[in-house]
């Protein structure tokens, strides 16, 4: 059915056990996501794709440790271990992910000075990735999201998808979260407030 798409968020090695920013149980969702991919006619994927020395890396900021924050011109930014560096194994999709059906891969976080959790906007909430226009041009009005991490890239993408007027479902069984300082509960609440269906 045209008009409906699955968006697989950042199912990459660095977010899976053994990776640089491992999400607990991140690899467990791969078979669940693969089943969803089989069920949808249209499949889109995102790929976190940072240059070395990215401003979201703690290592870029003198005296800062991962999971601390820093004030950026666009607001408070959480600092992460170096992860998903362009072209590295850590940035590749999990080897068992059935990504070949994917119609487009949206890469994000490739500008050194700004992070991008959402598949729609960078972290200034103003610079578009182009996904909103892509979906509109293709007549896709309903999206289902899955992937990593629930409380960061999945949640920000889902909330921005609602801002684009899309019908949005997040399949929580096909997501895993980081849960930093209560972010899981906070972002779950924000998704509900935004009108995201949690399935
Ligand atoms: C993500 C933190 C940093 C994510 C990406 O995919 O949720 N989280 N970069
Ligand atoms: Zn990242």
pLDDT in tens, 46-76: 999 999 999 999 999 999 999 999 999 999 9
Q: How far is the CA of 149 from the centre of ligand 1 (A)?
A: 6
Largest CA distance in the chain: 52
User: 0.95 cut: is pTM over it?
Assistant: yes
DSSP state, residue 93? B
Q: How far is the CA of 1 from the centre of ligand 1 (A)?
A: 30
- Give the H or E element holding residue 98: none
Substitution candidate for ligand 1 out of 117, 151, 170 with most atoms within 8 A of CB: 117
107: Cα separation from own chain's centroid: 10
Q: How far apart are CA 92 and CA 95, in angstroms?
A: 8
pLDDT in tens, 147-188: 999 999 999 999 999 999 999 999 999 999 999 999 999 999
DSSP state, residue 23? P
Closest CA to 82 of 119, 47, 107, 57: 57
110: Cα separation from own chain's centroid: 13
């Amino acid at each position: 059915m045209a008009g409906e798409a699955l968006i697989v968020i950042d199912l990459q090695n660095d977010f899976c056990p053994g990776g640089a920013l491992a999400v607990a149980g991140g690899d467990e969702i791969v078979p669940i996501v693969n089943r969803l991919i089989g069920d949808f006619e249209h499949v889109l994927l995102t790929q976190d794709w940072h240059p070395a020395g990215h401003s979201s890396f703690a290592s870029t900021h003198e005296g800062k440790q991962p999971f601390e924050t820093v004030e950026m011109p666009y607001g408070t930014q959480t600092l992460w271990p170096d992860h998903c560096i362009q072209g590295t194994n850590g940035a590749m999709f999990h080897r068992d992910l059935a990504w070949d059906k994917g119609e487009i891969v949206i890469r994000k976080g490739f500008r050194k000075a700004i992070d991008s959790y959402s598949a729609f906007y960078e972290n200034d909430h103003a610079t578009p990735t182009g996904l909103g226009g892509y979906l509109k041009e293709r007549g896709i009005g309903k999206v289902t999201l899955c992937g990593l991490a629930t409380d960061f890239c999945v949640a920000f993408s889902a909330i921005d998808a609602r801002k684009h007027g899309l019908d949005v479902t997040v399949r929580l069984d096909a997501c895993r979260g980081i849960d930093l300082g209560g972010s899981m509960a906070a972002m779950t609440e924000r998704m509900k407030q935004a009108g995201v269906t949690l399935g």
